[in-house]
């Protein structure tokens, strides 16, 4: 290993991160540079007006920390403001469907963005290259233009949100979106089309020169606030000016001989730890990978963690999250005994609709043993782009519960649970796997299966992220199309509803790096996306 490795769903972003490593940057520089380029070339997945979670392990600096930069509810919001508009809840818990879809797209769907502040904090504390140098690849990419990849086209073109605003309607909401993504005839640009975003380039250049204060309190903040006020948004200038990230120690868990560090609530790490604790009570290797009994056992663990999440996990500043109980080994053993007896957990939902999966991820490792794993997102993209600024805002209000008095209810300043769970698995005291995924509510389920594939089934990282997956975040079992019918028929005989996806690769898009005991790196980029793992 000379410099390190970067893995992410966008080749252009991976290349930018690797070039920063080759210039003497560390894993933090590579991760932030990669993330900034992701916001340019995959602008409906993530960007400087998004949210996320970052974990950094820097042994030489004696640093192991998580930065939580979830979107916060603007001060103008009220807990009951949408209670009368409820039409239903997504089948797997990814948000609520309201009349008029006011929470899902448009100006009122925007929460206070945290991504840019987190990027700058991580770089300022732990990076080694100058800020302008880390931002330079994203600026250059926006100016020169980026090529629409098949996955970007698929996300816009797909018609499967089932009650939500469709993706092509989101990108038509602003003049900038229409110009960037549609041709003069109003047709969606095809894969291979080059898209230049000079407005975003100018915005990024201003941030490179003036720092992130330009975005949160300076000229860019004033432009944002004026646009929000003009269009009836909840977001205002004071929301931007007062935004702070949350700094945490990792949430620790263990699985057999391994330790794992993941993120604290409101992130999804608590679900990952709970599921691994339950599954530790089974000989999964002996059950066989993706056999009917294997799928049943893992799905019941998924359902148990989903019910606990829905009832007990929210923003810990607003809601008491029983972390110790949900991550307790004895609690997990009791759940495992119920699964062994054949018990089926029921996951209540208001209505059955499908989730959306629009997030991205980056993992980096450098020659000094530093690891960064970060998942960041727009939630569902709001569709809003302020004239002249070039970037799209998050649409995270859609995942808050419009019913007052619940773990995920609306409250000013509050963050909502997300399944984001950037994780590092340790072999004794050495990092062994740096992993994470985009994929909405399915993130924790995808990361869980990739970890099981690597640890129990001894797969390589590439094999672990590519193996067929399944999920159960409702009473049904969802399976990828590569799970054989002769397997799912056995589950149906046991009374399970099985829903088969037409996708061969689905249920999150897991990306990870495996570090061998000899220091060798192997990467895996989920085949469902356009990305790659690259060592330099």
Query: What are the pLDDT digits (tens) for 1-31?
Result: 579 999 999 999 999 999 999 999 999 999 9
324 shares a domain with 263: yes
Tell me the CA end-to-end span of the chain in Å, nearest whole number: 8
Q: Which structural domain range is residue 175 located in?
A: 4-246+368-399
Residue 363 lies in a domain: no
229 shares a domain with 83: yes
270 shares a domain with 211: no
Which two three-digit tokens encode residue 223?
A: 């432009």
Q: How far apart, in Å, are the Cα atoms of 99 and each of 90, 102, 232?
A: 14, 7, 17
Residue 109 lies in a domain: yes
160 shares a domain with 11: yes
Q: How far apart, in Å, are the Cα atoms of 165 and each of 18, 228, 410, 441?
A: 36, 20, 21, 18
In the residue annotation, 245 being an active-site residue is answered as: no
Share the mean pLDDT of the chain: 94
Residue 29 lies in a domain: yes
DSSP character for 519?
S
Residue 481 lies in a domain: yes
Q: Using the predicted structure, report yes or no on whether residue 161 has a pLDDT greater than 80.
A: no
Catalytic residue among 46, 176, 306, 359: 359
527 shares a domain with 381: no
Residue 276: CB partners within 8 Å, gap ≥ 6?
253, 255, 260, 448, 451
Q: Grade residue 440 by pLDDT with cuts at 50, 70 and 90.
A: confident
106: left (phi over 0), alpha (psi -120 to 50) or beta: left
328 shares a domain with 458: yes
The burial class, CB within 10 Å (0-12 / 13-18 / 19+), for 186 is: exposed
Which two three-digit tokens encode residue 187?
A: 């047709």
pLDDT tens figures, 213-234: 999 999 999 999 999 999 999 9
Which two three-digit tokens encode residue 158?
A: 């797909």
Q: Mind giving me the DSSP string for 91-139?
A: TTSS-EEEGGGTTTSSGGGPPBP-HHHHHHHHHHHH--S-HHHHHHHHH
279 shares a domain with 254: yes
How many domains does the chain fold into?
A: 2
pLDDT tens figures, 282-330: 999 999 999 999 999 999 999 999 999 989 999 999 999 999 999 999 9
Which two three-digit tokens encode residue 308?
A: 């606990």
Predicted pLDDT at 441: 86
Q: Which residue has the tokens 């992410």?
A: 8
Q: Grade residue 380 by pLDDT with cuts at 50, 70 and 90.
A: confident
pLDDT tens figures, 484-494: 999 999 999 99
pLDDT tens figures, 62-100: 999 999 999 999 999 999 999 999 988 765 455 788 998
197 shares a domain with 307: no
201 shares a domain with 263: no
- pTM beyond 0.75: the answer is yes
CATH number for position 494: 3.60.20.40
232 shares a domain with 316: no
228 shares a domain with 102: yes
Question: Of 122-126, 359-363, 483-487, which range is least confident?
Answer: 359-363
pLDDT tens figures, 475-534: 999 999 999 999 999 999 999 999 999 999 999 999 999 999 999 999 999 999 999 999
């Amino acid at each position: 290993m000379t410099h390190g490795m970067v893995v992410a769903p966008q080749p252009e972003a991976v290349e930018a991160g690797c070039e920063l490593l080759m210039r003497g940057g560390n894993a933090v520089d590579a991760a932030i540079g990669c993330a900034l380029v992701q916001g340019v070339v995959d602008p409906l997945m993530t960007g400087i007006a998004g949210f996320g979670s970052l974990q950094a392990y820097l042994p030489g600096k004696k640093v192991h920390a998580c930065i939580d930069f979830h979107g916060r509810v603007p001060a103008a919001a009220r807990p009951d403001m949408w209670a009368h508009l409820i039409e239903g809840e997504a089948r797997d818990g990814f948000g609520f469907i309201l009349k008029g879809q006011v929470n899902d797209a448009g100006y009122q769907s925007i929460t206070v963005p945290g991504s840019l502040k987190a990027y700058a904090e991580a770089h300022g504390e732990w990076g080694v290259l100058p800020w302008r140098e880390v931002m330079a690849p994203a600026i250059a990419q926006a100016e020169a233009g980026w090529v629409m990849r098949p996955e970007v086209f698929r996300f816009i073109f797909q018609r499967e949100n089932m009650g939500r605003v469709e993706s092509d309607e989101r990108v038509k909401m602003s003049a900038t979106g229409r110009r960037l993504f549609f041709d003069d005839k109003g047709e969606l640009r095809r894969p291979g089309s080059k898209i230049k975003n000079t407005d975003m380039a100018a915005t990024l250049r201003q941030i490179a020169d003036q720092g992130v204060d330009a975005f949160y309190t300076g000229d860019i903040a004033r432009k944002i606030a004026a646009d929000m006020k003009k269009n009836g948004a909840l977001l205002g200038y004071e929301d931007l000016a007062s935004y702070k990230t949350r700094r945490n120690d990792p949430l620790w868990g263990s699985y057999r001989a391994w330790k794992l560090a993941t993120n604290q609530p409101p992130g999804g790490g608590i679900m990952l730890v709970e599921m691994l604790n339950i599954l530790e009570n089974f000989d999964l290797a002996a059950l066989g990978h993706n056999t009917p009994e294997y799928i049943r056992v893992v799905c019941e663990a998924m359902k148990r963690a989903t019910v606990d999440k829905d009832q007990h996990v929210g923003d810990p500043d607003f809601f008491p999250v029983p972390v110790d109980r949900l991550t307790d080994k004895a609690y997990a053993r009791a759940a495992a005994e119920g699964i062994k007896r054949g018990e089926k957990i029921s996951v209540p939902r208001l209505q059955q609709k499908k989730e959306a999966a629009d997030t991205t991820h980056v993992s980096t490792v450098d020659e000094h043993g530093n690891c960064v794993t970060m998942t960041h997102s727009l939630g569902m993209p709001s569709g809003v782009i302020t004239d002249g600024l070039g970037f799209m805002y998050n649409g995270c209000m859609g995942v808050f519960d419009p019913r007052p008095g619940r773990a995920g209810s609306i409250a000013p300043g509050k963050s909502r649970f997300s399944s984001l769970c950037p994780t590092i698995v340790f072999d004794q005291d050495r990092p062994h796997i740096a992993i994470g995924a985009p994929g909405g509510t399915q993130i924790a389920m995808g990361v869980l299966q990739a970890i099981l594939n690597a640890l129990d089934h001894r797969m390589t990282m590439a094999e672990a992220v590519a193996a067929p997956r399944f999920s159960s975040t409702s009473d049904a079992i969802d399976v990828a199309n590569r799970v054989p019918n002769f397997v799912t028929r056995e589950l149906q005989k046991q009374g399970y509803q099985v829903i088969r996806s037409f996708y061969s690769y689905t249920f999150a898009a897991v990306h990870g790096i495996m570090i061998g005991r000899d220091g060798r790196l192997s990467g895996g980029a989920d085949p469902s996306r356009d990305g790659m793992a690259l060592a330099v």
